[in-house]
Amino acid sequence: MELLSDVKHSVTSELSGIHQALTREAAVHNDYSLMQGLAGVNLFLAQHYQYQPVKNDADLAVIHDLCNRIAEQCGSVDDLSFARGLSGMLWSLSYVNRLFDHSLLDTGSFDDIDADLYASLQDKMDNGNFDLLFGSLGDYIYLRERNAIRNPEDFAALYHKVIKASTYGVNKKYFWLDYMNVKLGKGYAYNLGLAHGIPSMWYLLTDIAGFLPAAAQQEIAGIICDSYEAMKTFSINGDDLQFSKFPTEIRLDDQLQERTDYNRRSTRLSWCYGDLAIASTLLHAGKQLQHKGLYAEGLALADRTLKRDTRGSAVIYDNCLCHGGSSCILIYNAIYRTTGLQRFRDASIYWYEQGLDFKRGDGYFFYEDKDVPLAEKSSLLEGLTGIGLSYQSLVQPATSDWQKILLL
């Protein structure tokens, strides 16, 4: 549905300002990663360029220059991760190049790197690291963009690795441990967001299912159903719609049983937390796997989130994409694409208008621990790039292919 003219004018104006700020940033920034640096900035600039009615040669030159600079850096990057390293940088180059009909650079040299990253992906899976930002799931998203995983046998092998890594054999739940939580010495936990958590595994299983026989697809739908049914036993605030249904995480003892010595608080309404991430992934799985039960569960949870329509009840402190208001814009638009229901489009617009309140004369207010306001920053997860991409989803709701990097 077309935006009202005043909203469209507002969004277009904001996008113009963000474009100018990120173009300036492109000339001086020296972080080339996807989620924090120039690989993310270039994604926004390329998307913005594609949908301008009048193309500007200077804008194209900036995009082309960034592609060359990012490509030059790829040879000296030690970090292989999607968020801060090689696989994310290569994903950005491949995607932006595809937007421009493969005319910006020759990506044939990526083939050898693809083989190395595929081996790295399998090794990470074998070690239980399915993290999107720093593990095998990020590598998977890159390799899928490159069409580097092709054979049904390869997808079947990955499927078995995913199931083997679940804790089903321990506690009869298809759950997956938060690898980063353990690595950082914070103990065992099940995370319920898309960056590090169980919904990301549902997304991975749903994507793999598309390359498997019908019987395996039905089996995967059943696994996701069982996983969500088990997750519901950890719900909180069930009757109070002003609070989240699910916590951020479920902390565990050494026997992988829930600990009772911590507070499970209402969580933010955002990408890296529970309810919205769970709802959007259930809806996606329900639609892709043609499973009415999953779809209905996702829709019920998505509708429940609509009741948290104040920044206080949504626990929204800033406008960033990871944990702020812009994630509501993007996810509600994704739910709108899946369902076609206008109420989710309306919610997306509502959170855009709420987010404008975080704008100051020198840019947007960003939040970290203890309410510390930060200077303007450009990152995709926590800065202007992510805000700009979420705003683009309002005026171009169908241009969602890039959102796979966020599992949307």
Residue 231 inside a domain? The answer is no
Query: Residues forming the annotated binding site?
Result: 272, 322-323
| Chain segment 202-225, per-residue pLDDT in tens | 999 999 999 999 999 999 999 999
Tokens of 7: 């909203």
Check residue 1 and give its pLDDT: 61
| Chain segment 58-107, per-residue pLDDT in tens | 999 999 999 999 999 998 999 999 999 999 999 999 999 999 999 999 98
Q: What is the pTM of this model?
A: 0.95
- In angstroms, the CA 60 to CA 66 distance is 10
Q: Is 160 exposed, middle or buried, given 0-12, 13-18 or 19+ CB atoms closer than 10 A?
A: exposed
Across 374-386, average pLDDT: 82
| SS3 call for 119 | helix
Residue 138 inside a domain? The answer is yes
Residue 283 inside a domain? The answer is no
Check residue 369 and give its pLDDT: 44
Across 337-349, average pLDDT: 96
Strands 363-364 and 372-374: unpaired
Check residue 108 and give its pLDDT: 85
Report residue 372's pLDDT band, with 50, 70 and 90 as the boundaries: very low
Domains identified in the chain, total number: 1
Check residue 359 and give its pLDDT: 79
Query: In this structure, which long-range contacts are made by residues 122-125, counting pairs with CB atoms below 8 Å and at least 24 apart in sequence?
Result: 122/158, 122/161, 125/158, 125/161, 125/162, 125/165
Residue 288 inside a domain? The answer is no
Tokens of 289: 């796997």
Length of the chain: 408
- In angstroms, the CA 80 to CA 134 distance is 8
Range(s) of the domain holding residue 132: 31-149
| Chain segment 44-53, per-residue pLDDT in tens | 999 999 989 8
Q: 93 and 38 in contact (C-beta within 8 Å)?
A: no
- In angstroms, the CA 332 to CA 344 distance is 5
Q: 297 and 304 in contact (C-beta within 8 Å)?
A: no
Query: Residues forming the annotated binding site for Zn(2+)?
Result: 272, 322-323
Check residue 240 and give its pLDDT: 85
| Chain segment 120-144, per-residue pLDDT in tens | 999 999 999 999 999 999 999 999 9
Check residue 397 and give its pLDDT: 62
Residue 88 inside a domain? The answer is yes
Residue 83 inside a domain? The answer is yes
pLDDT, the chain, mean:
92
Residue 91 inside a domain? The answer is yes
Distances (CA, A) of 18 to 1, 68, 367, 408: 24, 22, 19, 23
Residue 129 inside a domain? The answer is yes
* Closest of 153, 68, 148 to residue 112, by C-alpha: 148
